[in-house]
Structure 1
């Protein structure tokens, strides 16, 4: 009997993508918090329109960062439906 060994190639972890995604998530979180604080007048009185702009930009940066972090987490934990190939490629 011949034994067949499955040769799995090592998974290439996209470190740059993980760093960029984490930064995107953190920047979005900070902008959302600042936008909320500006909107309530806790930080300063810049007006509602500027506070809403900061809040919207924060949400636009936060949502894809959060989405990609979920994919990274699921790929790290070995969930079969997720892999690093589902992420955008920022590698050189």
Structure 2
């Protein structure tokens, strides 16, 4: 609980940011897994350019979502160098 009160000011919890980061992580993971399954042929094969596009979009959505979830988890575990101010509004 001490992490929520930095300098006697309660930290503003950005619930929309937490939800958005979680959705980015889940959508990115789904796109990466789907792209890998398409690439290996477990799902009916489409054009290679579409598969590469799915993988690129998956990584572009996954990376920021994962980054923000790591900051949120570290803040909840009361790590010294992490705070909610590191997250965008």
Task: Tell me if 1:69 matches 2:69.
Answer: yes
Indicate if the aligned counterparts of 1:39 and 1:47 stay in contact, CA closer than 8 A: no
Q: How many residues align?
A: 83
Name the structure with the higher strand share.
2
Moved over 6 A (4+): none
Point out the structure with the larger helix share.
2
Unaligned runs of 5+ in 2: 1-6
Structure 1, unpaired ranges of 5+: 1-6
* 1:28 aligned residue: 28
- Once the two structures are superposed, residues 48-85 of structure 1 have per-residue CA deviations (whole angstroms, 9 ceiling, x without a partner) of 21111101100010011101100011111111101000
TM-score for the superposition, normalised by structure 2: 0.88
Which is higher, the Rg of structure 1 or of structure 2?
1
RMSD over aligned Cα atoms: 1.1
Rounded to whole Å, the distance in 1 between the matches of 2:38 and 2:50 is: 8
